Structure 1
Amino acid sequence: MPNLGFRIDGVRAERYSLEPVPQLNINMNLMFGKPEKRDNNYVLGFVIKIDCNPPVASIDVKGVVMVSPINADEAKVLGEEFQKGSIPYPLILAVYSYALPIISLLSREMGLPPPVQPPPQTQQTQQKPIDYHL
Protein backbone atom coordinates (compact mmCIF):
# COMPACT_ATOMS: atom_id res chain seq x y z
CA MET A 1 0.00 0.00 0.00
CA PRO A 2 2.00 3.06 -1.24
CA ASN A 3 2.00 6.30 0.69
CA LEU A 4 0.64 9.37 -1.06
CA GLY A 5 1.50 13.00 -0.51
CA PHE A 6 -0.25 15.92 -2.16
CA ARG A 7 0.67 19.50 -2.93
CA ILE A 8 -1.66 22.04 -4.52
CA ASP A 9 0.32 24.49 -6.65
CA GLY A 10 -2.44 26.64 -8.07
CA VAL A 11 -6.17 27.27 -7.93
CA ARG A 12 -8.12 29.41 -10.37
CA ALA A 13 -11.87 29.99 -10.20
CA GLU A 14 -13.74 32.45 -12.34
CA ARG A 15 -17.42 33.27 -12.75
CA TYR A 16 -18.21 34.79 -16.15
CA SER A 17 -21.91 35.49 -15.78
CA LEU A 18 -24.48 35.82 -13.02
CA GLU A 19 -27.41 35.27 -15.37
CA PRO A 20 -29.66 32.36 -14.33
CA VAL A 21 -29.56 29.43 -16.76
CA PRO A 22 -32.32 26.83 -17.19
CA GLN A 23 -29.91 23.90 -17.35
CA LEU A 24 -26.24 23.77 -16.39
CA ASN A 25 -23.92 20.96 -17.46
CA ILE A 26 -20.67 20.64 -15.55
CA ASN A 27 -17.73 18.86 -17.18
CA MET A 28 -14.74 17.72 -15.14
CA ASN A 29 -11.40 16.59 -16.62
CA LEU A 30 -8.56 15.11 -14.60
CA MET A 31 -5.24 15.13 -16.45
CA PHE A 32 -1.89 13.74 -15.33
CA GLY A 33 1.59 14.64 -16.47
CA LYS A 34 4.36 12.16 -17.14
CA PRO A 35 5.52 10.44 -13.92
CA GLU A 36 9.01 11.38 -12.74
CA LYS A 37 11.03 8.94 -10.68
CA ARG A 38 12.91 10.56 -7.80
CA ASP A 39 14.90 8.13 -5.63
CA ASN A 40 12.31 5.43 -4.86
CA ASN A 41 9.33 7.76 -5.29
CA TYR A 42 7.22 8.85 -8.23
CA VAL A 43 6.02 12.40 -8.72
CA LEU A 44 3.02 13.09 -10.95
CA GLY A 45 1.65 16.49 -11.79
CA PHE A 46 -2.11 16.80 -12.24
CA VAL A 47 -4.64 19.38 -13.37
CA ILE A 48 -8.36 19.23 -12.70
CA LYS A 49 -10.43 21.43 -15.01
CA ILE A 50 -14.10 22.10 -14.42
CA ASP A 51 -16.05 23.86 -17.16
CA CYS A 52 -19.72 24.69 -17.43
CA ASN A 53 -22.02 24.58 -20.43
CA PRO A 54 -23.30 27.24 -21.06
CA PRO A 55 -19.99 28.90 -20.13
CA VAL A 56 -20.83 30.71 -16.90
CA ALA A 57 -17.77 29.64 -14.85
CA SER A 58 -14.58 27.59 -14.79
CA ILE A 59 -12.33 26.16 -12.09
CA ASP A 60 -8.75 24.84 -12.42
CA VAL A 61 -6.81 23.06 -9.67
CA LYS A 62 -3.15 22.27 -10.37
CA GLY A 63 -1.01 20.12 -8.10
CA VAL A 64 1.39 17.26 -7.57
CA VAL A 65 0.93 13.80 -6.05
CA MET A 66 3.98 11.97 -4.64
CA VAL A 67 3.71 8.17 -4.61
CA SER A 68 6.08 6.32 -2.26
CA PRO A 69 6.03 2.51 -2.62
CA ILE A 70 6.62 0.67 0.64
CA ASN A 71 8.38 -2.38 -0.82
CA ALA A 72 10.14 -3.51 -4.01
CA ASP A 73 7.08 -5.38 -5.32
CA GLU A 74 4.94 -2.24 -5.22
CA ALA A 75 7.72 -0.24 -6.86
CA LYS A 76 7.95 -2.80 -9.67
CA VAL A 77 4.18 -2.86 -10.29
CA LEU A 78 3.97 0.95 -10.24
CA GLY A 79 6.96 1.25 -12.58
CA GLU A 80 5.33 -1.14 -15.05
CA GLU A 81 2.03 0.75 -14.92
CA PHE A 82 3.71 4.11 -15.46
CA GLN A 83 5.87 2.77 -18.31
CA LYS A 84 2.71 1.58 -20.06
CA GLY A 85 1.47 5.15 -19.81
CA SER A 86 -1.48 4.30 -17.59
CA ILE A 87 -2.38 5.68 -14.18
CA PRO A 88 -3.80 3.13 -11.69
CA TYR A 89 -7.48 3.79 -11.03
CA PRO A 90 -7.06 3.86 -7.20
CA LEU A 91 -4.53 6.68 -7.68
CA ILE A 92 -7.00 8.60 -9.86
CA LEU A 93 -9.66 8.21 -7.14
CA ALA A 94 -7.21 9.35 -4.45
CA VAL A 95 -6.40 12.55 -6.36
CA TYR A 96 -10.10 13.16 -7.01
CA SER A 97 -10.94 12.58 -3.33
CA TYR A 98 -8.21 14.95 -2.21
CA ALA A 99 -9.25 17.76 -4.57
CA LEU A 100 -13.05 17.37 -4.16
CA PRO A 101 -13.35 19.48 -0.97
CA ILE A 102 -11.44 22.34 -2.62
CA ILE A 103 -13.58 22.12 -5.75
CA SER A 104 -16.79 21.89 -3.71
CA LEU A 105 -15.89 24.96 -1.66
CA LEU A 106 -15.07 26.99 -4.77
CA SER A 107 -18.25 25.82 -6.49
CA ARG A 108 -20.39 26.78 -3.52
CA GLU A 109 -18.79 30.22 -3.23
CA MET A 110 -19.42 30.81 -6.94
CA GLY A 111 -23.06 29.71 -6.67
CA LEU A 112 -22.60 26.49 -8.68
CA PRO A 113 -23.57 22.91 -7.85
CA PRO A 114 -20.47 20.86 -7.01
CA PRO A 115 -19.34 18.15 -9.45
CA VAL A 116 -19.68 15.08 -7.22
CA GLN A 117 -19.34 12.12 -9.58
CA PRO A 118 -15.99 10.30 -9.51
CA PRO A 119 -14.19 9.82 -12.82
CA PRO A 120 -15.25 6.58 -14.54
CA GLN A 121 -12.90 3.61 -14.60
CA THR A 122 -11.83 3.09 -18.21
CA GLN A 123 -10.44 -0.44 -18.09
CA GLN A 124 -10.11 -3.29 -15.63
CA THR A 125 -6.64 -4.51 -14.76
CA GLN A 126 -5.79 -8.20 -14.75
CA GLN A 127 -3.39 -7.92 -11.82
CA LYS A 128 -4.23 -7.50 -8.17
CA PRO A 129 -4.81 -3.74 -7.67
CA ILE A 130 -2.57 -1.74 -5.33
CA ASP A 131 -4.25 -0.14 -2.32
CA TYR A 132 -3.21 3.44 -1.54
CA HIS A 133 -3.39 5.36 1.72
CA LEU A 134 -2.75 8.96 2.72
Structure 2
Amino acid sequence: MALFAGASALGGLLYGRLNPRMAVERQLLVLGTALIGVSATAGLIGSTPALVVGNGIAGGFIAPLLIVGYLAADARTDPTVRTEASSWINTAINLGAPAGSGLLGATTETTAPGTALAICTAAAAFVLLVSAPRRRRAVR
Protein backbone atom coordinates (compact mmCIF):
# COMPACT_ATOMS: atom_id res chain seq x y z
CA MET A 1 0.00 0.00 0.00
CA ALA A 2 2.86 2.38 0.73
CA LEU A 3 4.29 1.79 -2.74
CA PHE A 4 0.87 2.38 -4.29
CA ALA A 5 0.29 5.58 -2.29
CA GLY A 6 3.78 6.92 -2.91
CA ALA A 7 3.47 6.25 -6.63
CA SER A 8 0.10 8.00 -6.63
CA ALA A 9 1.61 11.10 -5.00
CA LEU A 10 4.51 11.09 -7.44
CA GLY A 11 2.12 10.56 -10.37
CA GLY A 12 0.02 13.52 -9.25
CA LEU A 13 3.06 15.76 -8.97
CA LEU A 14 4.36 14.70 -12.38
CA TYR A 15 0.96 15.02 -14.05
CA GLY A 16 0.60 18.49 -12.57
CA ARG A 17 3.72 19.53 -14.49
CA LEU A 18 2.18 18.47 -17.81
CA ASN A 19 -0.02 20.64 -19.97
CA PRO A 20 -2.18 18.13 -21.85
CA ARG A 21 -4.01 19.59 -24.82
CA MET A 22 -6.79 17.01 -24.92
CA ALA A 23 -10.19 17.45 -23.29
CA VAL A 24 -10.50 16.31 -19.69
CA GLU A 25 -12.92 13.55 -20.72
CA ARG A 26 -10.34 12.13 -23.11
CA GLN A 27 -7.68 12.43 -20.40
CA LEU A 28 -9.92 10.35 -18.13
CA LEU A 29 -10.25 7.68 -20.80
CA VAL A 30 -6.52 7.63 -21.56
CA LEU A 31 -5.48 7.51 -17.90
CA GLY A 32 -8.12 4.89 -17.09
CA THR A 33 -7.07 2.77 -20.05
CA ALA A 34 -3.41 3.02 -19.00
CA LEU A 35 -4.25 2.03 -15.42
CA ILE A 36 -6.29 -0.94 -16.65
CA GLY A 37 -3.54 -1.97 -19.06
CA VAL A 38 -0.83 -1.92 -16.40
CA SER A 39 -3.01 -3.76 -13.89
CA ALA A 40 -4.09 -6.39 -16.42
CA THR A 41 -0.53 -6.98 -17.54
CA ALA A 42 0.71 -7.39 -13.96
CA GLY A 43 -2.19 -9.69 -13.17
CA LEU A 44 -1.73 -11.85 -16.24
CA ILE A 45 2.01 -12.21 -15.61
CA GLY A 46 1.09 -13.09 -12.06
CA SER A 47 4.55 -13.31 -10.52
CA THR A 48 5.24 -11.48 -7.28
CA PRO A 49 7.82 -9.11 -8.83
CA ALA A 50 5.40 -8.29 -11.68
CA LEU A 51 2.62 -7.59 -9.20
CA VAL A 52 4.86 -5.35 -7.09
CA VAL A 53 6.12 -3.38 -10.10
CA GLY A 54 2.65 -3.28 -11.64
CA ASN A 55 1.14 -2.06 -8.37
CA GLY A 56 3.74 0.72 -8.21
CA ILE A 57 3.14 1.82 -11.78
CA ALA A 58 -0.64 1.55 -11.40
CA GLY A 59 -0.50 3.76 -8.32
CA GLY A 60 1.04 6.48 -10.46
CA PHE A 61 -2.25 6.83 -12.34
CA ILE A 62 -4.52 7.24 -9.31
CA ALA A 63 -3.84 10.88 -8.36
CA PRO A 64 -3.92 12.04 -12.01
CA LEU A 65 -7.27 10.29 -12.46
CA LEU A 66 -8.62 12.01 -9.38
CA ILE A 67 -7.29 15.39 -10.48
CA VAL A 68 -8.76 15.07 -13.96
CA GLY A 69 -12.05 13.74 -12.58
CA TYR A 70 -12.49 16.81 -10.41
CA LEU A 71 -11.43 19.10 -13.27
CA ALA A 72 -13.98 17.44 -15.56
CA ALA A 73 -16.70 17.89 -12.95
CA ASP A 74 -15.81 21.57 -12.60
CA ALA A 75 -15.51 22.20 -16.34
CA ARG A 76 -18.74 20.49 -17.34
CA THR A 77 -21.14 21.74 -14.70
CA ASP A 78 -22.85 24.99 -13.97
CA PRO A 79 -21.02 26.96 -11.25
CA THR A 80 -24.08 26.71 -8.99
CA VAL A 81 -23.81 22.90 -8.83
CA ARG A 82 -20.04 22.36 -8.78
CA THR A 83 -20.04 21.25 -5.17
CA GLU A 84 -22.66 18.64 -6.00
CA ALA A 85 -20.62 17.50 -9.02
CA SER A 86 -17.54 17.09 -6.83
CA SER A 87 -19.65 15.16 -4.34
CA TRP A 88 -20.58 12.73 -7.11
CA ILE A 89 -16.88 12.20 -7.80
CA ASN A 90 -16.39 11.48 -4.08
CA THR A 91 -19.37 9.11 -4.11
CA ALA A 92 -17.99 7.22 -7.11
CA ILE A 93 -14.61 6.82 -5.42
CA ASN A 94 -16.14 5.84 -2.09
CA LEU A 95 -18.32 3.24 -3.82
CA GLY A 96 -15.83 1.96 -6.38
CA ALA A 97 -12.80 1.47 -4.14
CA PRO A 98 -14.50 -0.81 -1.61
CA ALA A 99 -16.39 -2.65 -4.36
CA GLY A 100 -13.12 -3.33 -6.16
CA SER A 101 -11.39 -4.34 -2.94
CA GLY A 102 -14.26 -6.66 -2.07
CA LEU A 103 -14.18 -8.23 -5.53
CA LEU A 104 -10.41 -8.67 -5.31
CA GLY A 105 -10.66 -10.25 -1.86
CA ALA A 106 -13.45 -12.59 -2.91
CA THR A 107 -11.70 -13.72 -6.09
CA THR A 108 -8.37 -14.14 -4.28
CA GLU A 109 -10.08 -16.71 -2.06
CA THR A 110 -10.70 -18.95 -5.07
CA THR A 111 -7.96 -18.02 -7.55
CA ALA A 112 -4.33 -16.91 -7.63
CA PRO A 113 -3.69 -13.23 -6.79
CA GLY A 114 -2.67 -12.45 -10.38
CA THR A 115 -5.84 -14.03 -11.75
CA ALA A 116 -7.91 -12.13 -9.18
CA LEU A 117 -6.28 -8.87 -10.28
CA ALA A 118 -6.97 -9.70 -13.93
CA ILE A 119 -10.65 -10.36 -13.10
CA CYS A 120 -10.93 -7.05 -11.24
CA THR A 121 -9.22 -5.31 -14.13
CA ALA A 122 -11.79 -6.79 -16.51
CA ALA A 123 -14.55 -5.38 -14.29
CA ALA A 124 -12.89 -1.95 -14.39
CA ALA A 125 -12.55 -2.19 -18.18
CA PHE A 126 -16.27 -2.95 -18.40
CA VAL A 127 -17.08 0.19 -16.39
CA LEU A 128 -14.78 2.26 -18.61
CA LEU A 129 -16.35 0.86 -21.78
CA VAL A 130 -19.86 1.52 -20.50
CA SER A 131 -18.99 5.12 -19.63
CA ALA A 132 -17.07 5.92 -22.85
CA PRO A 133 -20.16 6.15 -25.13
CA ARG A 134 -21.83 8.41 -22.60
CA ARG A 135 -18.84 10.73 -22.79
CA ARG A 136 -19.08 10.95 -26.57
CA ARG A 137 -22.80 11.78 -26.42
CA ALA A 138 -22.25 14.33 -23.65
CA VAL A 139 -19.62 16.23 -25.67
CA ARG A 140 -21.81 16.42 -28.77
Q: TM-score, normalised by structure 2?
A: 0.28
Structure showing greater radius of gyration is 1
Q: TM-score, normalised by structure 1?
A: 0.29
Higher strand share: 1
